[in-house]
Amino acid sequence: MKKFVISIILILTISSVFAQQGHAGIFLRMPIGWKQIAMGGCGVATGGNANSGWYNPASLMLYKGWGGSAGYSTLALDRFFYYASAAGNINEDAAVALTWVHADAGEIDGRDISGNHTDMLEYGEDALFLTFAKFVTREITIGANVKYIQARLDEITAYIAGFDIGAHVRLYDEQLLFGAAYHNLKQQYQWDSATLYGSDNGTSSDEAIAGYLRFGVAYEPVEIPGAVTAEIALPENNDLEYRFGVSVTPTDYAEVLLGVDDGLLTAGLGFQFEADFAKFGLGYSIRLEREGLPPRHTFDLTVGTK
């Protein structure tokens, strides 16, 4: 019974660390990739990265060649967030990607109902998803993610499968881009501690993962090396979110980005290098946090065919 009480306390603690207004699976709405983070969390219209399916599965169609990316973020309150993606373009008619994302709250000081220390507890969430994008016409692309999501609460684990869908449109010689995506179609965690604590002490509960609708537009002029993008997001049971970002490429090897993520300032700097057999990229971004918490720092590495 003591461990059962501890697990309830742990659930409440983690909810305050990774959730917003009681929403489960909030890590599925956190931005990944230094470039998207630096542009205010925008990614539904821009695309062209191995991790684009996280924002809009259809925008993965803009990815060229074969390659991948990986990133690591440090956040306040001893949280960690990292990902790895591998992607490829198939005959410039379709694109596929496999992405893994992990959110970790680190070790948590477990205590019983009297406040006495028991042991160190762990919590983590993972998402593994396959992205597929396909041309409908040369201007319109559709795409989808098939996702496997897992949440581990000390010794209890919840599993779920889900889907995302998206569309992408390119006009005026692909300078004006539009994107829309809906994430987390009818998903919910199903927690059951009966197998661990027994039918008398164990409980079961469902936690719905809120749907997430995103719309975005981007302008990438041919004459000027850079882009401007903006988007809005409509989470279920939450307020409207807005984002804005701009990138400037002063040389062929460097890129500077600034943005606003729902009122939080973001910035980043990236470099690209080419070898005889491949091209490589390094990127860093910073995102300010609310309530005076330390900012989020993200480091990324990319590799791809020339």
At residue 151, the pLDDT reads 82
At residue 121, the pLDDT reads 66
The answer for residues whose C-beta is within 8 angstroms of residue 296's C-beta and 6 or more apart is 37, 73, 74, 75, 76, 286, 287, 289
Domain spanning 2-304: CATH 3.30.70.270: no
The span from the CA of 32 to the CA of 38, in Å, is 10
The answer for residues whose C-beta is within 8 angstroms of residue 111's C-beta and 6 or more apart is 6, 9, 117, 118
Query: Could you state, in chain order, the average pLDDT of each consecutive group of 10 residues for the chain (306 residues)?
Result: 43 44 73 96 94 96 95 85 95 95 74 63 86 95 94 77 94 94 83 60 68 94 91 87 95 94 96 91 95 92 93
The answer for residues whose C-beta is within 8 angstroms of residue 54's C-beta and 6 or more apart is 31, 32, 33, 43, 83, 99, 101
At residue 18, the pLDDT reads 44
Distances (CA, A) of 6 to 64, 118, 158: 49, 9, 18
Strand, coil or helix: 47: coil
At residue 183, the pLDDT reads 94
The answer for residues whose C-beta is within 8 angstroms of residue 191's C-beta and 6 or more apart is 153, 156, 158, 203, 204, 205, 206, 207
The phi and psi torsions of 49 (rounded to 5 degrees) equal -120, 155
- Domain residue spans of the chain: 2-304
CA 143, 81, 217, 281 dihedral sign is: negative
The span from the CA of 230 to the CA of 245, in Å, is 6
Place of tokens 């300010």: 288
At residue 196, the pLDDT reads 58
Quick check: 21 and 238 in contact, CB under 8 A?
yes
The phi and psi torsions of 271 (rounded to 5 degrees) equal -130, 150
At residue 120, the pLDDT reads 62
At residue 165, the pLDDT reads 96
